[in-house]
């Protein structure tokens, strides 16, 4: 049964902090950064995860990118890693990791993803970390589970699931989730969220102002933020997609990706 995305589906699962809650109880989120000229996407994702409520967010950067990133963030922490083994050590204590936004279309991204999978963190796989598996999608699916989320737009989706979009967007997302074993967020004007067990939710048409560079990176970070706080992959994806759309609707014309995270506090107040 296809349901329309609405807070009634997941609001009871939102992890509101209590009076005695400390930051480590609100979840630790990592975001893997790209090279020195491609740090913006990861920074957008990290800020969104922080706004969603993750208690501690770290940007995990190649050594040449770390000094650039460190001068642009405040509450977000920065760590450098010089290879997959070092990345695995950094992500070991984290509840969730976002990988893909401007991560690089090179084999290092594959190795980094495999290193993270060795730990316990839930994955949000986006952008470059999806495209790099074009033509070998089964290798990616073998790394993922029902606690992980993939967030492709239609182009990325077609690279992983060639021809499946011909079924229609809803049926394609459902089949992709079943095939991959992960939650699939098929982005678009009516984003589809599908779980491996057959559940499927459709987001009502979102603001056209979301058609701007970086908005998908923000969505990945929101999903990661809720996932780090213990929401299930499906609930985290549904909540993040709804809040992402609501933030865009509240801002309206002139929206750029940087504006989205700044609308999240008002969106959260409306849900509390």
State which H helix or E strand residue 185 sits in.
strand 183-186
78 three-class SS: strand
What CA–CA distance (Å, rounded) separates 222 from 110? 23
Output the tens digit of pLDDT for each of the chain's 272 residues: 899 999 999 999 999 998 999 998 899 999 999 999 999 999 999 999 999 999 999 999 999 999 999 999 999 999 999 999 999 999 999 999 999 999 999 999 999 999 999 999 999 999 999 999 999 999 999 999 999 999 999 999 999 999 999 999 999 999 999 999 999 999 999 999 999 999 999 999 999 999 999 999 999 999 999 999 999 999 999 999 999 999 999 999 999 999 999 999 999 999 99
Strands 28-32 and 183-186: unpaired
In a domain, 162, yes or no: no
Which phi and psi angles does 70 have, rounded to 5°? -60, -30
- What does DSSP assign to residue 228? H
**Count, residues in the chain:** 272
Residue carrying structure tokens 């009871």 = 12
> Which among 234, 257, 244, 199 is positioned nearest to 40, based on CA atoms?
257
> Which residue range(s) make up the domain with 139?
23-149+212-264
The pLDDT assigned to 169 comes to 98
State which H helix or E strand residue 176 sits in.
helix 169-180
- Structure token pair of residue 83: 């290879």
Q: At what angle are helices 257-271 and 233-251 packed, to 10 degrees?
A: 110
Please, which residues bridge with residue 58 across strands? Answer: 30, 77
Total count of domains within the chain = 1
In a domain, 49, yes or no: yes
Tell me if 89 sits within 8 A of 21, measured CB to CB: no
The CATH number for 128's domain is 3.40.1190.20
In a domain, 109, yes or no: yes
The pLDDT assigned to 48 comes to 98
Strands 96-99 and 28-32: parallel
The pLDDT assigned to 70 comes to 95
In a domain, 185, yes or no: no
Tell me if 127 sits within 8 A of 217, measured CB to CB: yes
Strands 183-186 and 122-125: unpaired
What CA–CA distance (Å, rounded) separates 241 from 246? 9
């Amino acid at each position: 049964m296809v349901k329309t995305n609405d807070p009634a589906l997941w609001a009871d699962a939102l992890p509101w902090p209590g009076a005695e809650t400390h930051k480590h109880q609100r979840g630790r989120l990592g975001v893997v950064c790209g090279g020195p000229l491609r740090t913006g996407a990861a920074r957008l994702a990290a800020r969104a995860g922080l706004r969603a409520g993750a208690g501690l967010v770290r940007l995990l950067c190649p050594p040449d990118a770390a000094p650039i990133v460190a001068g642009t963030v405040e509450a977000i922490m920065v760590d450098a890693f010089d290879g997959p083994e070092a990345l695995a050590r950094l992500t070991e204590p984290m509840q969730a990791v976002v990988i893909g936004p401007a991560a690089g279309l090179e084999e290092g991204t594959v190795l980094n993803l495999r290193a993270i999978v060795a730990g316990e963190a839930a994955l949000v796989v986006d952008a470059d970390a999806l495209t790099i598996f074009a033509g070998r999608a089964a290798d990616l699916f073998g790394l993922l589970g029902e606690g992980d989320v993939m967030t492709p737009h239609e182009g990325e989706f077609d690279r992983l699931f060639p021809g499946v979009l011909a079924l229609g967007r809803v049926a394609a997302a459902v089949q992709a989730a079943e095939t991959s074993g992960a939650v699939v967020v098929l982005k678009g004007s009516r984003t589809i969220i599908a779980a491996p067990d057959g559940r499927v939710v459709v987001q009502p048409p979102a603001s056209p102002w979301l058609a701007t560079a970086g908005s998908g990176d923000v969505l990945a970070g929101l999903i990661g933020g809720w996932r780090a706080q213990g929401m299930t992959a499906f609930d985290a994806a549904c909540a993040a997609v709804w809040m992402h759309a609501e933030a865009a609707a509240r801002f309206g014309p002139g929206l750029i990706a940087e504006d989205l995270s700044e609308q999240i506090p008002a969106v959260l107040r409306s849900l509390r």
